[in-house]
Amino acid sequence: MLIFDADAWIICPIVFPLAASIFFFLSRRTGPVAAPVAALATGVSIIILLRQLLLFGPRHYYIGGWQAPLGITLRFDGPAVLMLAMTGLTGIGITLYARGYFSFRIAAPKRVGRHERQERFFWPLWMMLWAAMNGLFLSSDIFNLYVTMELVSIAAVALAALSGKPASQIAAIRYLLVSFLGSLSYLLGVVFLYKTYGILDLDMLQDIAGAAPGTRVALALITIGLLLKTALFPMHFWLPPAHANALAPVSAILSGLVVKGSFYLLFRFWFEVFSGAISIGALNMLGILGAGAILWGALQAMRQQRLKLLVAYSTVSQLGYLFIAFPLASLEGNMKVWGAVIFMAMAHACAKSAMFMAAGTIYLHIGHDRINELVGIRAYLPVTALAYAIAGVNLMGLPPSGGFIAKWLLLSASFNSMQWWWGVVVMVGSLLASVYVYRVVCQLFIIPEGYTIKKQYPRSHLLEWPAFTLALISLLLGLFAPYPLHILTIGSSNVATIIPGGPP
């Protein structure tokens, strides 16, 4: 087993989509046909990885046999595999949806050439992004993380600009500049770390990083960089236009997945690698920004006139919950808060991409997404309307959705750590979320008296069912909470101690 030992499975989630990306770029006609296969292969490799995690525990893999500090180390543990699974699940859904989306557009009589061109560029870029995301979750080296992050950003920007409309291009270039700034800030942080410790490997850093001034500066720079990319309020300004003006599958990718990547890094940096260097004040600061994001994003979402902008602002709002976890994680047993964060991320990924897919389907069918004119969608897109509503339930945090579990864990942590005010923010955020979800759902489900369907559309199952399935997964995720929470504890050094009673 010299060439391909068991540990080598770890590179498959990166290599499969990467290979697919290159292949689709070289032979552009194969993309639409082979993309679902590539997505499925990636999914299977993630399942195998998950199984290995359950059987053998967390592992390291040294690419080419070069050990740290020289070589590039990959590692997988509970949180990483969960994020891989999140990306994989949502990614398969998005891939199928994108198939339906592009063939629906190509089937439409106008501007066929342009739509075909868009599709041919979509597949390689999307596979590249997926590979980079997986690389980001698996890397164990702060410089390698920089590279994967840049790859994610470049692919994401190119995807965001794909629709070719002026608004989307301006949004994309702004996105690029912001994320470039974020990356540079991160890289500067890496420089400081390397200057202080001469180490790039995360595990080694975790062992020796203390509260030295150099570490603090590095952590601050890294944090600012990642916050810019995660679009935490008030650094969210670039997100709504970029997400709302992109093509629907791209919006789903950007909103559901890409922002989670930088957040994931941030969380691990704060609570694993540099847990010695963080201060309560800084944690509270992030919590306050998170609270601001929840409220501001929700208020903005409530007053949008366009569906996709509304959904984009709701992403700003939902990201805030992830940051509420920071002040709670410091005092309360970490398991709850890690669980809340992971659940929030997973449920939001499924729900938000389902929402953007539904919005895209609606847009394709009626040619606009003005909220006040969405009346009667249920009559001819029942599955899509239902998908949107179910995803909305998740954002509102009602049981049995994954969002409910996340909010329950956050609330419970806020009471147990005597910081109930964060709980109040969570509750208020949920109520505001129900307002903006309701605004749309109510329009979708009205069927005015005497309403007749004006136009018959070709039915496209690939447009409707992936969104519905993802929404349903986000809804039922709450019922299977013990499994992810168990996986979470595998190999994450700060979480391991806490679950009472062990696996389900």
Partner 1 sequence: MMSTNLLYSLTGLVLFALGLYALIVCSHLLRKILASNIMSSGVFLMLVSTAYRAGNGKIDPVPHAMVLTGIVVSVSATALALVLACRVQETSNVTLVREEYQHDTSGA
Partner 2 sequence: MSREGVLLICILLSSALPGIIIFGLREESTRLRTGLNLLGASLKLTLVVAMDIGIAQGRVFEVRLLLMPGVEIFLNGDPLSALFATLSSVLWFLTTLYAVGYLEESPNRSHFFGYFSLCVTVTIGIALAGNLITFLLFYEMLTLTTYPLIIHRGTEKALLAGRNYLVYTLAGGGLFLFGVVWLQSIAGALDFSSTGLPVDLLGKYHTELVLIFALLIIGVGVKAAIVPLHGWLPQAMVAPAPVSALLHAVAVVKAGAFGITRIVLDVFGIENVLRLQLLPSLTIAASLTIIYGSVRALQQDDLKRRLAFSTVSQISYIALGVGLADQSLALIGGLVHIVHQGLMKITLFFCAGNLAETLGIHRISQMNGVARRMPLTMAAFTVGALGMIGIPPTVGFVSKWYLGLGGLASGNWWVLAVLVVSTLLNAGYFLPIVTAAWFGKQAGPWPQDRKFGSLETNWMLLLPPLVTAFIIMAVGAVANARFSPLAWVRFIVREYGI
At a CB cut-off of 8 Å and minimum separation 6, what does 423 contact? 410, 411, 414, 415
Q: Shortest gap between Cβ of 447 and partner 2 (angstroms)? A: 4
At a CB cut-off of 8 Å and minimum separation 6, what does 191 contact? none
At a CB cut-off of 8 Å and minimum separation 6, what does 454 contact? none
Q: Shortest gap between Cβ of 335 and partner 2 (angstroms)? A: 7
- For position 479 contacting partner 2 by CB under 8 A, the verdict is yes
- For position 412 contacting partner 2 by CB under 8 A, the verdict is yes
User: For residues 156 and 219, is the Cβ–Cβ distance under 8 A?
Assistant: no
Which residues ranging from 124 to 143 are in contact with partner 1 (CB under 8 A)? 143
User: How buried is residue 280: exposed, middle or buried, by Cβ count under 10 Å (0-12/13-18/19+)?
Assistant: exposed
Could you count the other beta carbons within 10 Å of the beta carbon of residue 94? 30
Looking at 34, 427, 472, 496, which residue binds partner 2 (CB under 8 A)?
A: 427
Nearest one of 151, 38, 153, 49 to 96, comparing CA atoms:
38
Contact partner at residue 398 from partner 2, partner 1, none, CB < 5 to 8 Å by partner kind: partner 2
Question: Residue 61: in which H helix or E strand, if any?
Answer: strand 59-62
Which residues ranging from 425 to 484 are in contact with partner 1 (CB under 8 A)? none
Q: Shortest gap between Cβ of 244 and partner 1 (angstroms)? A: 6
Which residues ranging from 292 to 321 are in contact with partner 1 (CB under 8 A)? 305-306, 308-309
Residue pointed to by tokens 């890409």 = 258
- For position 213 contacting partner 1 by CB under 8 A, the verdict is no
Mark residues 20-59: x for contact with partner 1 by CB under 8 A, - for none.
Answer: ----------------------------------------
Contact partner at residue 166 from partner 2, partner 1, none, CB < 5 to 8 Å by partner kind: partner 1
User: For residues 183 and 156, is the Cβ–Cβ distance under 8 A?
Assistant: no
Of 372 and 452, nearer to partner 1 (C-beta) is 372
CA–CA distance, 137 with 140 (Å, rounded to integer): 8
Report residue 75: phi and psi, to 5°. -145, 150
Of 198 and 450, nearer to partner 2 (C-beta) is 450
Looking at 30, 103, 169, 284, which residue binds partner 1 (CB under 8 A)?
A: 169
Of 167 and 435, nearer to partner 2 (C-beta) is 435
HSE-CB at 106 with a 13 A cutoff on CA atoms is: 14
Of 186 and 408, nearer to partner 1 (C-beta) is 186
Contact partner at residue 339 from partner 2, partner 1, none, CB < 5 to 8 Å by partner kind: partner 2
Residues touching partner 1: how many (CB under 8 A)?
A: 54
Q: DSSP characters for 297-337?
A: HHHHHHT-SBHHHHHHHHHHHHHHHHHHHHHHHHHS-HHHH
CA–CA distance, 50 with 58 (Å, rounded to integer): 10
Of 100 and 189, nearer to partner 1 (C-beta) is 189
CA–CA distance, 87 with 348 (Å, rounded to integer): 11
Question: Residue 120: in which H helix or E strand, if any?
Answer: helix 112-138
Compute the Cα dihedral for 314, 315, 321, 326 and give only its sign: negative
Q: Shortest gap between Cβ of 442 and partner 2 (angstroms)? A: 6
Among the listed ranges 38-46, 159-167, 288-296, 337-345, the one in contact with partner 1 (CB under 8 A) is 159-167
CA–CA distance, 380 with 308 (Å, rounded to integer): 20
**Which residues lie near partner 2 (CB under 8 A)?**
335, 339, 393, 396, 398-400, 404-405, 407-409, 411-412, 415-416, 420, 423-424, 427, 430-431, 434, 438, 442, 445-449, 478-479, 481-482, 485, 499-501, 504
**Which residues lie near partner 1 (CB under 8 A)?**
69-70, 143, 146-147, 150, 153-154, 157-158, 161, 163-174, 176-177, 180-181, 183-184, 187-188, 190-191, 194-195, 198, 200, 240-241, 244-248, 251, 305-306, 308-309, 363, 367-370
